[in-house]
Amino acid sequence: MAGGHIDIVALTKAFDDFVAVKDMHLEVAAGEFFSMLGPSGCGKTTTLRMIAGFEHPTSGQIILDGVEMSGTPANKRHVNTVFQNYMIFPHLNVFENVAFGLRRQHVARAELKQRVHEALELVQLGHLATRRPAQLSGGQQQRVALARALVLRPSVLLLDEPLGALDAKLRRRLQLELKSLQQTVGITFVYVTHDQEEALTMSDRIAVMNNGRVEQVASPREVYEEPATEFVADFLGVSNLLEASVDGRQGDACRLRIGEFALNAHMGEMSLSGEVKCVVRPERVRLLDYASAGANQLPGMVERVVYMGSATQVIVRLASGGQLQALTHNDGTEHDYQQGTAVQVQLPPDALRILPPVAAQAA
Amino acid sequence: MSRLRGRSLGSLMLGAVVVAYIAWSLLPVGVAFLFSFNRGYSRSIWQGFSLQWWIGPHSVFRNSTYAGAITHSLLLAGLAVLITVPLGVSLAVLLSRWRGRGTRGLSLLATVPLVVPELVLSLAMFFLVTRLLTFVSLGTPAQVVGQVTFILPLVVVITRGRLTSIPIGFEEAATDLGASSLGAIRLVLLPLLQPAILASAIVTFAVSIDDFVITQYMSSTSATQSVPMVIYNATRGGATPVLNAMAVVMAVTTILIAGLSFLGYRFLVQREQFGALETEPELTAPPITTVPATNEGGW
Amino acid sequence: MHPRRQLLALGGPGLIWLALFVTVGLYALVSIAAGGLDPILLTPVPAWSPLHWNFTVLGQVTSSFNPFGGGDWHLFLRTCIYIAISLTACILIGYPVAYFTAVRARRTKGPLLVLLVIPLLVSYMLRMLAWVGLLSPGGWVNSVLLHLGIISSQVNWLNGMSVTVVLGLIYGWIPYFILPLYASLARFDTRYLEAAADLGASGTATFVRVTLPLSAQGILAGSVIVALPMFGDYFTNGLLSGTSSTSMVGTLINSYAQSESGQATSAAQALLLIGFLTLLLLPYLRSSARANGVVVR
């Protein structure tokens, strides 16, 4: 089944007095690996369930390959789902689970057998066709769920936290497998997750959601490097948030003032004036000797040092008030930061990002 | 040390209470069984061993009233199972899968017969079938209707218990794969409900065989006497030990049928273990607890 | 996720069945209780329209239960006392049995459960029949008691003795008390006991402060399950006593229901009983609603 273009227009879903999805606009291109990322309760799963047909929108439209879907029940949509806990039918063996949808379409026996086996081969489960679900590991169940959905050749595959129940190591491996599987079958994947690492690793584009709204839709690199909102910056890994006032422009940079210190910022909304918020990622923060002098530096004092294996997190209390986190890679260089060490924190202009005002974010 | 001894003494006493209770609860029944082998006509004074109430012209199987009561009880129980189980299971599906308003009212309707004494329900149904729904004539039809009404809520309770442990996701998955709504219920929910269906059948059968009040109120001629009715009417009279023999035949039949079905139930539950992921172990209907737990309200 | 229309098509027959036989049945009960009498045959005529309801019989029945001079007040009081004693005995005997089976028993659990279920499969009537045989004049109970010198001559246990009726009620209903209590105790997480011991509680303190409060819901459920039918029980009395000196509410309603002229009265008594039991049940319903959110998962 070719296609797989999804257009979501002004979609709203309310449950009694709780609005799960608010006036959502989204476009997913055919063949795209698209992720919806956000904390629990942000509306991502509700959106997915509306695309699948399990929930009916309160208002708005879901258009699949040019056809508005509201009148089409779940069992008539060319959309299939991999459920959060897989929902492999426990009373049917692996073969019958995968054949379930084909039997509903009355596919002839020979073709059915062939397609089931192809689907099982695709997920490398050909040898387990006669197993019962209770005898499968979590990873194998996940593959059965994939095969069961893909055998129907949907134009869109919906995946609801499909790796959530698995352990971290298996999850990493399956991330790569899922991505290459998507490239093999070439259909649209809409992937719901609360794990930013999963979303960043696999997606072509990510929609970051919060409180029923889409905060940002962009490529993984963009949402990580250029978060459009405070929420996005925060949700995709810890971000340092600074409050500053704009103090004019300097070339293509914006001059900021934090307390008595001046900084240059290169990224984000450069045309603002007055009070602004800006973010900087911990791994872009550099720690220097207190004695070193230079541009874009803030003095402070180390408050806490947390060893985390590949990196060390240093929390610095700034002289201007507030805290900053710095992440230094444990690449063999010796540092000697201890509680109470006075340091200079350097914030490179191209890492300092001015966020758009809150009112603009909400719109 | 003193705490340990106190505890083991407590355990001993506890064990003694349990043994005493079980002896007290079963020995009288054993004695009643013994008296079915009494040579004389008394059901309380032992007069020597004989098989006359079991074999021969005076045996329970040759006594038309008693043998007829056993047949009638089994007939009622069979009909009750055939009607109550499908009716109750589908009602339970409706109640547990219904979303939005009206759930409480519907559930209340299904609980009323559980909290109204059986005598009151029987009286109400007696007036109903004698004054309004006169096409349900007293005798077998009314007895079946009465028993079904009385047992239906139990089947609903048993089935709903199991339904709450079956995530709606299975039905959603079936629909997602192209099954219609009723198709999802038939192809996925019903197979998963098998243990509850069997448990419902066992309970329905046992309660129907045991039932006295509503069966009596809905009865007509002596041909529609069930075993409990015969026992009730004959015990205070001068019935011979053949009465004991009949009661024992019925009890053994019930225990055998229930026991065999229970083995089937255990088999189903063990085979139908859900995948390790989607349900907590406690939700996968432990093999034993469900049956007794839902036997409540027995009479 | 299922469309309401299809769910209704599925569960509709069951709903209609209950609505017809339970709801309309209870309505028929009201219509008889508040109906009229056929002037010639003196049989009750149901008043199907609320406009024709006549509450004379209901009034008479209500006043018969008046504590000050009501004719049936003593019978009602007796019923409550019998049931209170029986219920207490059910708790005192049934709790240890259910507790042992659910919490303490390990390998014996399965066989024990079978032994606890057998009384339910052996019908109530057979179990009563067994006691009638044992308690009859010349029966084994009398023989044993005479032999032990506890009684000096044959006692007719089956002729209006309160002791016999109460023992019969306990014996008959206790299996129905034990099983729900067992089911509730089986869900009891024994790690609470370890936690209590860890926090320094003695065995007794653990039982009183932890186990008992956590099983209160099960005791209450079991009590409701046996107390409700006891209020409508006439057969235990009928088999073990047969005289009016031990009559209970169930006996009264059943005896009125046997004659056509008494049917309206029996219907009114049944209605009053429903009202009384509803009042009695209110605290239970409330507490079980509360407990469902908190203790019992």
Per-residue pLDDT at C293 exceeds 70: no
Q: Which of residues 171-230 of A touch B (CB under 8 A)?
A: none
- Name the residue of chain B whose CA is nearest to A139's CA: B277
Would you state the structure tokens that stand for residue A215, as one six-digit string?
């905060």
* Preferred mutation among B168, B177, B270 to probe A, highest tally of A CBs within 10 A: B177
Give, in order, the Cα–Cα distances in Å from A192 to each of A199, A208, B88, C78. 8, 10, 38, 66
Q: What share of chain A is helix, strand, coil (3-state, %, to 5)?
A: 30, 35, 35
Note whether B144 contacts C: Cβ–Cβ < 8 A. Answer: no
Q: Which residues of C touch B28 (CB under 8 A)?
A: 127, 130-131, 134, 171
Per-residue pLDDT at B172 exceeds 90: yes
- Between chain B and chain C, the number of residue pairs with CB atoms below 8 A apart is 306
Domain count, chain B: 1
Q: Given this model, what pLDDT does residue B273 score? A: 55
* Preferred mutation among A85, A132, A166 to probe B, highest tally of B CBs within 10 A: A85
Neighbors of chain C by Cβ distance (3+ pairs < 8 Å)? B
N-terminal to C-terminal alpha carbon distance within chain A: 37
Structural domain includes residue B54: no
Q: Given this model, what pLDDT does residue A292 score? A: 83
Q: Which residues of C touch B152 (CB under 8 A)?
A: 14, 17-18
- Name the residue of chain C whose CA is nearest to B148's CA: C17
Give, in order, the Cα–Cα distances in Å from B2 to each of C187, C200, C208. 30, 15, 19
From the list C15, C23, C113, the residue facing B292 with the nearest CB is C113
Note whether A110 contacts B: Cβ–Cβ < 8 A. Answer: no
Burial class of residue B88 in the structure, from the number of CB atoms within 10 Å of its CB (0-12 exposed, 13-18 middle, 19+ buried): buried
The minimum CA-CA distance between B80 and chain A, rounded to whole Å, is 28
Domain encompassing residue B172:
66-229+250-274
Scanning chain A, the segments in alpha helix (DSSP H) are 44-52, 94-104, 109-122, 138-150, 168-185, 196-202, 220-225, 230-235, 358-362
What are φ and ψ of residue A335, in 5° steps?
Answer: -115, 165
Contact C264, B127 (CB under 8 A): no
Q: In what order do the strands lie in the sheet with A79-82?
A: A79-82, A156-160, A188-193, A33-37, A205-210, A213-218
- Name the residue of chain B whose CA is nearest to C30's CA: B124
Per-residue pLDDT at C238 exceeds 50: yes
Structural domain includes residue B100: yes
Report percent pLDDT > 90 for chain B.
58
Tokens 């192209």 label which residue?
Answer: B178
B38-63, pLDDT tens digit by residue? 998 888 889 889 888 998 888 889 88
Q: Given this model, what pLDDT does residue B160 score? A: 92
The minimum CA-CA distance between B271 and chain C, rounded to whole Å, is 19
Q: Given this model, what pLDDT does residue B296 score? A: 34
Give, in order, the Cα–Cα distances in Å from A60 to each of A9, A64, A214. 6, 13, 15
SS3 assignment, position B238? coil
Using CA atoms, how far apart are residues B63 and A199, in angstroms rounded to an integer?
79
Per-residue pLDDT at B257 exceeds 80: yes
Q: Which residues of C touch B95 (CB under 8 A)?
A: 11
Using CA atoms, how far apart are residues B293 and C117, in angstroms rounded to an integer?
10
Q: Given this model, what pLDDT does residue C37 score? A: 81
Q: Would you give per-residue pLDDT tens digits along chain A (363 residues)?
A: 467 899 999 999 998 889 999 999 999 999 999 999 999 989 999 999 999 999 999 999 999 999 999 889 999 999 999 998 899 999 999 999 999 999 999 999 999 999 999 999 999 999 999 999 988 988 899 999 999 999 999 999 999 999 987 888 888 888 999 999 999 999 999 999 999 989 999 999 999 999 999 999 999 999 988 888 889 988 987 778 888 888 888 777 888 888 888 888 888 877 777 888 888 888 889 888 888 888 888 889 999 998 888 888 899 998 888 888 898 888 877 777 888 888 899 888 888 888 887 755 444
Q: Which uninterrupted H or E stretch holds A279?
A: strand A275-280
- Name the residue of chain B whose CA is nearest to A85's CA: B278
Note whether B186 contacts A: Cβ–Cβ < 8 A. Answer: no
Q: Given this model, what pLDDT does residue B277 score? A: 36
Q: Given this model, what pLDDT does residue C291 score? A: 57
Contact B128 C28 (CB under 8 A): yes
Amino acid at C2: H
Would you state the structure tokens that stand for residue C114, as one six-digit string?
């079978």
Structural domain includes residue B206: yes
Predicted-complex ipTM score: 0.90
Would you state the structure tokens that stand for residue B227, as one six-digit string?
């075993």
Per-residue pLDDT at B294 exceeds 50: no
**Could you tell me the pLDDT band of residue B142, with boundaries at 50, 70 and 90?**
very high
Using CA atoms, how far apart are residues C83 and B275, in angstroms rounded to an integer?
47
* Preferred mutation among B107, B123, B188 to probe C, highest tally of C CBs within 10 A: B123
Contact B209 C116 (CB under 8 A): no
Using CA atoms, how far apart are residues B76 and B226, in angstroms rounded to an integer?
8
Half-sphere exposure of B209 (CA within 13 A, CB side): 27
Contact C21 B123 (CB under 8 A): no
C107-158, pLDDT tens digit by residue? 888 899 999 999 989 989 999 999 998 998 888 998 999 999 888 888 888 8
Where in chain C are the domains?
72-258
Structural domain includes residue B288: no
C155-208, pLDDT tens digit by residue? 888 888 999 999 999 999 999 999 999 988 888 887 888 888 888 888 788 888
What topology is assigned to C72-258 in CATH? MetI-like fold (1.10.3720)
Among positive and negative, which fits the CA dihedral B133, B139, B143, B145?
negative
Neighbours of B224 (CB within 10 A): 22
Give me the CATH number covering residue B218.
1.10.3720.10
The minimum CA-CA distance between C37 and chain B, rounded to whole Å, is 14
Note whether B187 contacts C: Cβ–Cβ < 8 A. Answer: no
